[in-house]
Structure 1
């Protein structure tokens, strides 16, 4: 395992050039990146499933305990509103165009982190023993040959809301927020790619949870890496981080606003996780994240804030994002 930023980048570059498969994690501020060669990963310590690339046995037929419970204790609206007000003040001052504001939510469940990994219905999952579980729906970047693509998610609505898809696509605040992120990601990809374009713009993806189905809005931005690119994945990743969809724009001033408003350490939440199988590289943004903090579980969630955002709506969105992605679970005990 490598876990120093410079060594991390050098190792990923080296492994990429030599076509050596690996798995990696990068925290939000890229201060504690870690990587493992695939042949050195111990499944009793680490489990992952990245869109089918996995060291975990399939648990598709496993039964979720019928008496399972999942309780969340979100921060009060008053506390959230103070954080929100600090963000909006900076937005109106022109210090940022978009800020991703997150908060930690204590939760209680009779499932362990490993159980949540096993039962989760999500394309990108990672379990690190005694530390965290992540079940993310959001791709960060994919690289196939010289083609690089990114899929930012920005915009969430309860699918049961009347005409939910039309409502979120017509919402001017959501449209402006999404356009800002697409612009940011397009600029980021242009740092490492020669050609960049928007392949798909604002398409809808359903996300099923243990409580409800959510609709999320995504786009696809693609580019062509230069001819001289030869598996330097470490160097490429550090140029693109932190991910624009979970920070904001412009990044330097926005990161300071996030630090001042949130007042807690995100850690690996909103970082990036992924793999290289010797040919294909794929990664995901570490959202939908539960962390063990001294024996207590904390679910970290948030959303993008613009000058047009409504505090109550944003508060409800971050609460809605505190869920377990169990598509066919029995109703939890309340």
Structure 2
């Protein structure tokens, strides 16, 4: 579907209060939108904050992933391209991502059923998302966003204090909050940060993590329901998975990563006829032939250390479970 057709369809269904599910890839080249009444659960399954079309699976085997980690030197080449852009002043923060081949005895369907996340999407046995990150929530005349930036092993001594006092992490988070606030100001009034750097705990199959987030809110115009498509697309790509400033940073990302992200780091969401809830497509497994790849990454600033960023990207290859 062309992006212009996607926008027109979302605007119309929003105006008419037609429930729908949608997804937009990072490059905005293959967006799709489908009425809830037309959803085929054999092709698309979703779960967003308790709303789902998936049949519960009561028998859940343990999920195990074996990582085939890329060599540090391959990561370093990508990292160095990002650092060159930062040094030149083309970007203040760049989100660099990698693909890690994984081996698992579980199917994408089984991982979908076992994983615990606010935003889950299984698309045609091609890719799976189990994301904790909200893109935007829209309803009752308000728009809200909860950018996530900053992750640490929860079992480290003094983990919460370490991440909250880390100057690199603080600079990265402030940059993203400022970017998202400016983005939302394009579509809303009275934009403000209502919570700054609060901590969520995430349990995984390997370790527990602390994730740092903030909350940003704004007031939408009276006709916002008939402009849902325009609002969503104007905010893309998501700032937390691109960087600042967006245009030059996306160019750096293309040169460093040297491949399209596709639906990874895009957004997907559900509109129930009155409220739209959407997530950023991080925590992402894709199937390519008979192989599986897990995509992960993190924000790079001038204060970043290549070994630390490399380890963070690898640590994010996990499945969140109870």
- Whether these two folds match at TM > 0.5 is yes
SS at match of 2:175: helix
Q: Distance in 1 between matches of 2:5 and 2:48?
A: 24
Number of residues paired by the alignment?
A: 322
Give the C-alpha shift of residue 221 in structure 1: 0.5
Give the C-alpha shift of residue 4 in structure 1: 2.1
Equivalent of residue 46 in structure 2, options 35, 45, 48: 48
Q: Distance in 2 between matches of 1:274 and 1:197?
A: 23
Q: Which runs of 5+ in 2 are unaligned?
A: none
For residues 108-187 of structure 1, the aligned pairs below 5 Å read: 108-187=103-182
Q: Which runs of 5+ in 1 are unaligned?
A: 328-334
Q: What is the match of residue 26 of structure 2?
A: 28
Give the C-alpha shift of residue 326 in structure 1: 1.9
Give the C-alpha shift of residue 192 in structure 1: 0.1
Q: Is the contact between residue 189 and residue 240 of structure 1 (CA under 8 Å) also seen in structure 2?
A: yes
- Runs of 4+ residues over 6 Å off in structure 1: none
Q: Is the contact between residue 25 and residue 264 of structure 2 (CA under 8 Å) also seen in structure 1?
A: yes
Give the C-alpha shift of residue 129 in structure 1: 1.8
Q: Is the contact between residue 129 and residue 285 of structure 2 (CA under 8 Å) also seen in structure 1?
A: yes
**TM-score, normalised by the number of residues in structure 1:** 0.95
Give the C-alpha shift of residue 230 in structure 1: 3.0
- State the Cα deviation string for residues 51-105 of structure 1 (Å, max 9, x = none): 111101334x43324xx53101121111111111111111011000000000010
Q: Distance in 1 between matches of 2:14 and 2:33?
A: 12
RMSD: 1.0
For residues 1-334 of structure 1, the aligned pairs below 5 Å read: 3-59=1-57, 61-65=58-62, 69-327=64-322
Q: Distance in 1 between matches of 2:27 and 2:39?
A: 24
SS at match of 1:231: helix
SS at match of 1:230: helix
Give the C-alpha shift of residue 264 in structure 1: 1.6
**TM-score, normalised by the number of residues in structure 2:** 0.98
Give the C-alpha shift of residue 7 in structure 1: 1.0
SS at match of 2:113: helix
- State the Cα deviation string for residues 222-247 of structure 1 (Å, max 9, x = none): 00012232332111111000000000
SS at match of 1:115: helix
